Amino acid sequence: MNREAIINLVKDWRVALLLVLVIGSLAGIYLTPPDLQKGLEGNLQFGLDLQGGSWLQMEFQSVIVAYSTDKPVGDLVDNLQKSLEADVIQIDQNHLEIRKSVSRADLEPLFAASGAKIVGYQEGVSSFTADEVKRILNDKVNALGMQDARINLLTPTGSEYPQYVRIELAGVDMETAQEIVGKQGMFEIRIQTTGNETEHVLFGDQITSVGVPQRDPEYQTWGVGFALTEAGAQAFREAALKQGAVDNPGAHHLVMLLDNKTVYSAPLAGDLAAQLRSGPVRSLSATTGTGDAGLDDAMTLEIHLRAGALPVKVDVVGSGSVPAALGEHFKTTVVLAGLLALLTVGVVVYYRYREPLIVLPMLAINLAEIIILLGIARFIQQLDLAAIAGLIAVVGTGIDQLVIITDEVLHEGRVPSQNLYMKRYGRALGIIAVSAATVFIAMLPLALMDLSTLRGFAIITMLGVLIGILVTRPAYGKVIMAILSK
């Protein structure tokens, strides 16, 4: 091909789009953010298999009980909380979540004493509590700057409720992983004095319980309720009286800090100030606003009020680690496997066509597809062994589809006329589109399931299918036409 033909080829929007995405992907991998010490890995996020690290599997110490009763449910909940010394949450009209590991045999007399009967019993937590645990762990991990973390909820076969949570931390030793799960942050409440100055009121150890986000039915505002110890309530009242907050609540903000970082600040409520005049108040509520934004802030504040503590106790039932050296060995093996796959594909394609001008564009387009795929995965997906398997699968299916295009456009070994070429090329794309749609639909359930071993494979495969149909196959059709016509 001469210089003019190459320029015309690059000007075609399909080829231009491919080149722009390849350059953008390389920039995303190596230049954002810039780091002169990056190796070939760039900004790619590697999972536990390829980087080394630790994993913990923890069991929720909680049970879900289905019940029936003719008496007020509130009395049942109060009696259970006092008898078990544990939080009891009403999930719906017929189910309670008891945040303590207790057998059905031990619960039955307690329910009977409250005029209730146990209908069903399962170990685990409600979906709300499970999501709350996942949010808290994510918040902890993100606060420590660890992006290569996976947190998955596991539900045993035949159960409706999650019973385990598994956390994988790439590049983290076992001791640090245990500390992340068990360590609480330092939570502090302060009150505004004058200007931007604040004074200490109490620490998080004075908070006895934290409620779930609730919406005020009258004002439609979201908030989180929490209770103080008697000493904490007394310290809070004394600080409010000392600073004059009970007389001028609007001028004195209540400031909450987690590890010296402000997580909540709002003026003292007028009705609370009136209550503090007459005595200590143990039950407080922090209002966060209305709508979805208020709910999001309330959920975040709930985590901070707990100072990073999980709402339900967990016991470690399994753990393991992958040494960094073994992770590097896996990484090297994966690179060699990928190169060997690409080389093998090239040899097979050359044996079929015996023409380098067909083989080289195929391999180049396939390589470009992998680069674009890695550039996108760099932002949304860790690269573990399952994801790498998806990449290798994309190489194989990609070449397969390029062979379909080449076989269709070649007519008895010769390049057909322009009209016949476009007709055959359109038919090839139709075949590929149907095949890609089948793969996409087959992978979709795996991508939506929270399964750490399969989700990466499904996501990478689906991305590869989309990139192929939308970008690389159209570009290959234009490139192969320009080459074969010469």
Handedness of CA 356, 359, 363, 366 (dihedral sign): positive
Q: Can you give the CATH number for the domain in which 227 is found?
A: 3.30.1360.200
Sequence-separated contacts (24+) of 117-122 with Cβ below 8 Å: 117/67, 117/68, 117/69, 118/65, 118/66, 118/67, 119/66, 119/67, 119/68, 119/94, 120/64, 120/65, 120/66, 121/63, 121/64, 121/65, 121/66, 122/63, 122/64, 122/159, 122/160, 122/161
Q: Do residues 396 and 432 share a domain?
A: yes
Whether 433 and 469 have beta carbons less than 8 Å apart is answered as yes
User: Rounded to 10 degrees, what is the CA torsion of 195, 199, 202, 207?
Assistant: 0
In a domain, 90, yes or no: yes
Who's near 139: CB < 8 A, 6+ residues apart? 300, 303, 308
Q: Which residue has the higher pLDDT, 102 or 419?
A: 102
Which pLDDT belongs to residue 121?
93
User: Rounded to 10 degrees, what is the CA torsion of 252, 257, 261, 265?
Assistant: -30
Q: Do residues 411 and 262 share a domain?
A: no
Which pLDDT belongs to residue 202?
84
User: Residue 382: is its pLDDT beyond 60?
Assistant: yes
pLDDT tens track for 405-426: 888 877 655 666 777 878 888 8
In a domain, 295, yes or no: yes
Question: Band of the pLDDT at 107, cuts 50, 70, 90?
Answer: very high
Q: Do residues 457 and 474 share a domain?
A: yes
| pTM of structure | 0.61
User: Residue 372: is its pLDDT beyond 90?
Assistant: yes
In a domain, 91, yes or no: yes
User: Residue 111: is its pLDDT beyond 80?
Assistant: yes
The whole-angstrom distance between residue 77's C-alpha and the CA centroid of its chain comes to: 34
In a domain, 345, yes or no: yes
Q: Do residues 238 and 349 share a domain?
A: no
Q: Do residues 466 and 386 share a domain?
A: yes
**Poorest-pLDDT segment among 17-31, 107-121, 313-327, 416-430:** 313-327
Length reported for the chain: 486
User: Residue 454: is its pLDDT beyond 80?
Assistant: no
Q: Do residues 259 and 328 share a domain?
A: no
In a domain, 314, yes or no: no
User: Residue 36: is its pLDDT beyond 60?
Assistant: no
Q: Do residues 377 and 266 share a domain?
A: no
Q: Do residues 331 and 455 share a domain?
A: yes
Last residue of a domain, one of 307, 338, 367: 307
User: Residue 446: is its pLDDT beyond 70?
Assistant: yes
Q: Which residue has the higher pLDDT, 7 or 205?
A: 7
Radius of gyration of the chain (CA): 30
Q: Do residues 252 and 382 share a domain?
A: no
Question: Band of the pLDDT at 467, cuts 50, 70, 90?
Answer: very high
User: Residue 106: is its pLDDT beyond 80?
Assistant: yes
Q: Do residues 295 and 390 share a domain?
A: no
Q: Can you give the CATH number for the domain in which 468 is found?
A: 1.20.1640.10
pLDDT tens track for 213-222: 888 887 788 8
User: Residue 325: is its pLDDT beyond 70?
Assistant: no
Distances (CA, A) of 379 to 45, 214, 311, 350, 482: 8, 34, 31, 35, 35
CB atoms within 10 A of CB 452: 19
Token pair recorded at residue 361: 């564009």
Which pLDDT belongs to residue 62?
92
**Mean of the per-residue pLDDT values of the chain:** 82
In a domain, 313, yes or no: no
Domain count, the chain: 4
Task: Name the residue range of residue 83's domain.
Answer: 59-127
Q: What SS3 string covers 293-314?
A: HHHHHHHHHHHHHCCCCCCCCE
Q: Do residues 32 and 70 share a domain?
A: no
pLDDT tens track for 133-188: 888 787 777 655 555 577 888 888 888 899 998 888 877 777 777 766 666 667 78
Percent of the chain past pLDDT 70, that is, above it, reads 90
Q: In the predicted model, what is the mean pLDDT of residues 446-456? A: 72
In a domain, 32, yes or no: yes
Which range of 57-71, 75-89, 126-140, 335-349 scores highest in mean pLDDT? It is: 57-71
User: Residue 113: is its pLDDT beyond 60?
Assistant: yes
**Poorest-pLDDT segment among 1-5, 44-48, 409-413, 472-476:** 409-413
In a domain, 312, yes or no: no
**Poorest-pLDDT segment among 97-111, 162-176, 325-339:** 325-339
Q: In the predicted model, what is the mean pLDDT of residues 94-107? A: 91
Q: Do residues 199 and 295 share a domain?
A: yes
Who's near 345: CB < 8 A, 6+ residues apart? 363, 366, 395, 396, 399
Q: Which residue has the higher pLDDT, 414 or 377?
A: 377
Q: In the predicted model, what is the mean pLDDT of residues 54-75? A: 89
Which range of 176-185, 232-241, 261-270, 327-336 scores highest in mean pLDDT? It is: 232-241
User: Residue 452: is its pLDDT beyond 60?
Assistant: no
